[in-house]
Structure 1
Amino acid sequence: MILKSRDKPILALFEWIRVRLMTRFYTKREGIQKYAGKLCPSIQDRLEKLKVESKPFSATPTGSFLYEVGSQYKRHVVDLVKKTCSCRSWDLNGIPCKHAITAIYINIETPEDYTHPCYFKETYMEIYKEVLPPMPGQLEWAETG
């Protein structure tokens, strides 16, 4: 990001970074407020693709919130309480995998409810809620000894 300005003097470089951050925070904050979904847009898109990929799988309940999910060739164990799948994808990124989505639908619930809270719109808004205050130009700075 700073390739354009890294050859500048240190104060000019810091000023460039400050303005970029101030603009980025404002843009992110305004963009997410217009969005109506529960999850961030990119995560929602990813989840929609996984929902389509989950169609060929079938889930067999083996216990309370415990399912065996598979197709003709592969089987995976999904635990909805622990939010884990034996393919480990859900464990690693916090987004239900295609196997987990199949089990979630059998349980008559929505995959969005099983997604890690770090992907929620509220969390995103919390990250970008801070406002970087504008700063007067260098000529208006207070003189110090």
Structure 2
Amino acid sequence: MMECIRRQLMTFFNERRETSMQWTSILVPSAERRVAEALELARTYQVLRANEAEFKVISHEGNNIVDIRNRCCLCRGWQLYGLPCAHAVAALLSCRQNVHRFTESCFTVATYRKTYSQTIHPIPDKSLWREMSEGGDPSVGKGGVEGVVINPPKSLRPPGRPRKRRARAEDRGRVKRVVHCSRCNQTGHFRTTCAAPI
């Protein structure tokens, strides 16, 4: 399964790397199409400017407020997709800004190429693999690893939560009472905890 996934990824990376080399636009084709559609719609909108960053865009759907400094629009399209919506494009065109500069960097061709720039190298068949010996020398060949049993580490702590041994504040000044066992008549334990044979 892992070999199949590695082969698929190796093919995907190579295909996408070669495909991206043919692109001449700033954005990847899917993002470029969305921006082109927004540009077409934006030409039908009327823009009123409040200050250098805030705009009111009037369209047949209703009025929207666009803030190009914070990259947000009242329709929330810009915040959700990372690409300027038609209202934002209309606002950007009214103040002669480049629309491509206001898209998220993940949509650029440069970022796409960087994503697939690394190569997944081919791995030889399992029959050509050399096994490592215990010493780590691959020249030893087969038989170096066979028969080695790795046991879990020896734990000195018993299972479960450790018991708390705390001195209570009220017990600090008291003299401890000596307890006697009724079975073996020795001090230091009770009958219930007595370990003497019956």
TM-score normalised by the chain length of structure 2: 0.64
Displaced runs of 4 or more, over 3 A: none
What do residues 23-46 of structure 1 show as CA deviations (whole Å, max 9, x unaligned)? 000111111111111111111011
Higher fraction of helix: 1
> 2 CA distance for matches of 1:40 and 1:93?
14
RMSD: 1.2
Asked if 1:131 corresponds to 2:119, the answer is: yes
Indicate the structure (1 or 2) with the bigger Cα radius of gyration.
Answer: 2
Higher fraction of strand: 1
> 2 CA distance for matches of 1:15 and 1:130?
18
Show structure 2 runs of 5+ residues with no match. Answer: 133-144, 146-198
Q: 1:63 aligns to what SS in structure 2?
A: coil
- In the TM superposition, 1:17-96 aligns within 5 A as 17-72=5-60, 74-96=62-84
TM-score normalised by the chain length of structure 1: 0.87
Partner of 1:15: 3
Show structure 1 runs of 5+ residues with no match. Answer: 1-12
Structure with the bigger RCO (C-alpha within 8 Å, sep 6+) is: 1
Aligned-pair distance for 1:83? 0.8
Question: Is the deviation greater in 135-144 or in 84-93?
Answer: 135-144
> 1 CA distance for matches of 2:70 and 2:92?
13
Q: 2:50 aligns to what SS in structure 1?
A: strand
Percent of residue pairs identical: 28
Q: 1:72 to 1:137 in 2, by over 3 A?
A: closer
Aligned residues: 133
